[in-house]
Amino acid sequence: MFCFQCQETAKGKGCTIKGVCGKEETTSNLQDLLIYNLKGIAVLSQGLKEQGAEVGYDVGRFISKALFTTITNANFDDTSLTHWIDQSLALKKELKNKFDALAPGAPKTSLWQKIVGMFAQAPEAARETVMHESALWMGNGGSDYQAKAKTVGILATENEDVRSLRELLILGIKGIAAYADHAAVLGVEKDEIYDFIIKALVSTTEDLSVDEMVGMVMKAGECSVSTMAALDEANTTAYGNPEISEVNIGVGDKPGILISGHDLKDMEELLKQTQGTGVDVYTHGEMLPANYYPAFKKYEHLKGNYGSSWWKQNEDFETFNGAILMTTNCIIPIKNKNTYKNRIFTTGVVAYPGLIHVAEREDGKAKDFSKVIEVAKKCAPPTEIETGTIVGGFAHNQVMALADKVVDAVKSGAVKRFVVMAGCDGRQKGRGYFTEVAEKLPEDTIILTAGCAKYRYNKLNLGDIGGIPRVLDAGQCNDSYSLAVIALKLKEVFELEDINDLPISFDIGWYEQKAVAVLLALLFLGVKGIRLGPSLPAFVSPTVLNVLVENFDIKPIGDVQGDIDAMMQGK
Ligand code: FS2
Ligand code: SF4
């Protein structure tokens, strides 16, 4: 195996024996093979499109979901991944049949020209050599998946810089695909998003120049912005605009279900199905921002948030005592001493060996969470681990409602600087940096956040500036779009030419691939001087890093006080 997609990769280089995340070698290999098949699906889809044939949304949806399931801490289950590969092969066969049925004399354009143009003159065997092998390999049952996987992984691209740019693109579109899938679940799908994901996958099968590959990476940033905008539209249309909310972090006296991950549709259906059952619902990790939506706040049995971010789940799930539902990443390996194995469920793109999986929606019907509810009913209420509240709900609409106050505070000098400390949390000790920065930032600064990075400081009680809380939480990493909207609005209000002239610094924590998509979005919006930690991505080669440093002044986090001093000077 070779995997270097997340921040905690072994020795900062790559996991080669077993994932630091707990991913087994066979699992990693199957994920590589799934990506390889997605490339094949993309090559065939692109060819069909160029020929004027229709490629339905179901293809974009399948690719998105499949990419999503390969994100860090989503799928640890070889049986599930084998099924994903089986499905990808079936789709590939279907597309290939369509492709072969097209008339060879039809108009020929770019990719089509390369592929079908040669088809027209070549005998069957020769034709097959023209198309990228990922489009042609059809497998022959599960037995050869492992053998095949070993030949198509990341290291199959030998040149370090080509590999780096291809992987940066693939990891970026994994994040984009996750956001696209969330939007699709709520009925918002866009041609341009699926088109780009397909183009990006195809580009990784081609011999492009470095400039062309860098161009694709930048386009991924653009697509990331439009995908996050689509998701914002989907979320707010379905559930209203998040609003300032005090979220209880204590517990009630009834048994509960703890829902984690990012899927708001699962949240909605779970809340409906638990109503009147005597079972309370609590959020964990990235589901905390569900408490900010008007549509969910109306449920009295939504009791608040329990525990902390994803990497604390082994402890939090123990003391929660009740049923647990993982709707997306991040699930982490269950230890022998953990007792919650029989009360945790997966759904959607999440899978873990031995756990019960709640099946997909069918025929427009809701998912059936009855098994989760039955288990919860037999459980003890959660053990109280803390009390009090945390405040959040500062997505763009809420911040815009406070815009006058915010602008006045900047003009009067009451607020000197905004520091965006969004992104991910994780297990590494070095992440204590973000807590320290939050504690030591001057009191005339405001922290803008989204994602699970906030758990490093959202219970610190950092006070407010004239009624504006010093930590403004926009929501999940899925809501990072809000931070861009806020920055662009401030730029407009202060009549600035360049986003970098705003009194905003970016001090971002990253962990997995959605953070890569968000980072590329920020670069596309022209944000310069981003600090990134706790370490720089292993998939960025020294040459590619140089490109990022030269064009965007990206830098690693340094020591706390030094970084604060520099940020306060706009550096
Ligand atoms: Fe937390 Fe980072 Fe949200 Fe993940 S903000 S680890 O990308 O999907 O979460
Ligand atoms: Fe290693 Fe991260 Fe890949 Fe897991 S996801 S195998 S920790 S690089």
The dotted CATH code for 1-156 is 1.20.1270.20
Q: How confident is the model at residue 127 (pLDDT cuts 50, 70, 90)?
A: very low
Across 494-501, average pLDDT = 95
Nearest CA to ligand 1 atom 6: 424
Pocket test residue of 4, 72, 332, 536 for ligand 2, highest count of atoms within 8 A of CB? 72
pLDDT for 114 equals: 54
Q: How confident is the model at residue 432 (pLDDT cuts 50, 70, 90)?
A: very high
Whether 527 and 554 have beta carbons less than 8 Å apart is answered as no
Q: What is the mean pLDDT of the chain?
A: 94
Cα 19 from chain centre: 19
Which CATH number fits the domain 396-568, given the four candidates 3.40.50.2030, 3.30.365.10, 2.40.50.140, 3.40.50.2300?
3.40.50.2030
Please give the model's pTM, rounded to 2 decimal places. 0.95
pLDDT for 113 equals: 47
The Cα 527–Cα 552 span in angstroms is 7
Across 56-68, average pLDDT = 97
pLDDT for 130 equals: 75
Whether 249 and 386 have beta carbons less than 8 Å apart is answered as yes
Query: Is 60 exceeded by the pLDDT of residue 502?
Result: yes
Pairing mode, strands 280-283 and 256-260 = parallel
Q: Which atom of ligand 2 lies at the shortest distance from residue 10's CA?
A: 1
Task: Determine if ligand 2 sits within 6 Å of the CB of residue 7.
Answer: no
pLDDT for 140 equals: 76
Pocket test residue of 4, 17, 20, 332 for ligand 2, highest count of atoms within 8 A of CB? 20
Across 238-250, average pLDDT = 98
Query: Is 70 exceeded by the pLDDT of residue 13?
Result: yes
Task: Determine if ligand 2 sits within 6 Å of the CB of residue 3.
Answer: yes
Provide the edge-to-edge strand list for the sheet that holds 531-533.
471-473, 445-449, 417-420, 504-509, 531-533, 555-556
Across 32-39, average pLDDT = 98
Q: How confident is the model at residue 180 (pLDDT cuts 50, 70, 90)?
A: very high
Pairing mode, strands 445-449 and 471-473 = parallel
Provide the edge-to-edge strand list for the sheet that holds 256-260.
302-305, 280-283, 256-260, 323-326, 344-347, 356-358
pLDDT for 209 equals: 96
Query: Is 80 exceeded by the pLDDT of residue 12?
Result: yes
Output the 3-class SS for 549-562.
HHHHCCEECCCHHH
Residue 21 known to bind ligand: yes
The per-residue DSSP string of 144-164 comes to GHHHHHHHHSGGGS-SHHHHH
pLDDT for 361 equals: 97
| Ligand 1 center from residue 211 Cα (angstroms) | 30
pLDDT for 118 equals: 52
Residue whose tokens read 């050599």: 129
Phi, psi of 20 (to 5 degrees): -60, -30
Residue whose tokens read 């866009």: 190
Residue 223 known to bind ligand: no
Across 562-567, average pLDDT = 98
**Which three-class secondary structure state does DSSP give residue 504?**
strand
The Cα 75–Cα 352 span in angstroms is 6
The Cα 255–Cα 250 span in angstroms is 13
The Cα 511–Cα 517 span in angstroms is 12
| Ligand 2 center from residue 72 Cα (angstroms) | 7
The Cα 30–Cα 34 span in angstroms is 6
Nearest CA to ligand 2 atom 2: 6
Q: Which of 99, 45, 145 is nearest to 153 (CA)?
A: 145
Angle at 232 between CA 398 and CA 487, to 5 degrees: 55
Query: Is 80 exceeded by the pLDDT of residue 410?
Result: yes
Pairing mode, strands 245-248 and 389-392 = antiparallel
The Cα 371–Cα 366 span in angstroms is 14
What's the fold here for domain 245-377?
Rossmann fold (3.40.50)
Q: What does the block give as tokens for 564?
A: 């604060």
pLDDT for 102 equals: 86
Query: Is 70 exceeded by the pLDDT of residue 555?
Result: yes
Query: Is 80 exceeded by the pLDDT of residue 120?
Result: no
Report the percentage of the chain scoring pLDDT > 90: 94
The Cα 47–Cα 516 span in angstroms is 28
Query: Is 90 exceeded by the pLDDT of residue 25?
Result: yes
Please report, for the chain, the start and end positions of each structural domain, with discontinuous segments joined by +.
Answer: 1-156, 245-377, 396-568
Model ipTM over 0.90: yes
- Residues in contact with 150: Cβ distance below 8 Å, sequence separation at least 6, in sequence order: 29
Whether 446 and 418 have beta carbons less than 8 Å apart is answered as yes
Count of CB atoms within 10 A of residue 332's CB? 19
Whether 281 and 259 have beta carbons less than 8 Å apart is answered as yes
Is 245-377's fold the same as 396-568's? yes
Amino acid occupying residue 437: V
The Cα 5–Cα 305 span in angstroms is 29
Q: How confident is the model at residue 305 (pLDDT cuts 50, 70, 90)?
A: very high
Q: Which of 295, 303, 334, 298 is nearest to 316 (CA)?
A: 334
Per-residue pLDDT tens for 262-297? 999 999 999 999 999 999 999 999 999 999 999 999
pLDDT for 338 equals: 96
Across 431-438, average pLDDT = 98
Q: Is the peptide bond before 104 cis (omega within 30 degrees of 0)?
A: no
pLDDT for 250 equals: 98
Residue 379 known to bind ligand: no
Q: Which of 458, 480, 416 is nearest to 179 (CA)?
A: 480
Per-residue pLDDT tens for 348-389? 999 999 999 999 999 999 999 999 999 999 999 999 999 999
The Cα 291–Cα 242 span in angstroms is 8
Per-residue pLDDT tens for 83-115? 999 999 999 999 999 999 985 644 444 455 455
Pocket test residue of 2, 3, 24, 29 for ligand 2, highest count of atoms within 8 A of CB? 3
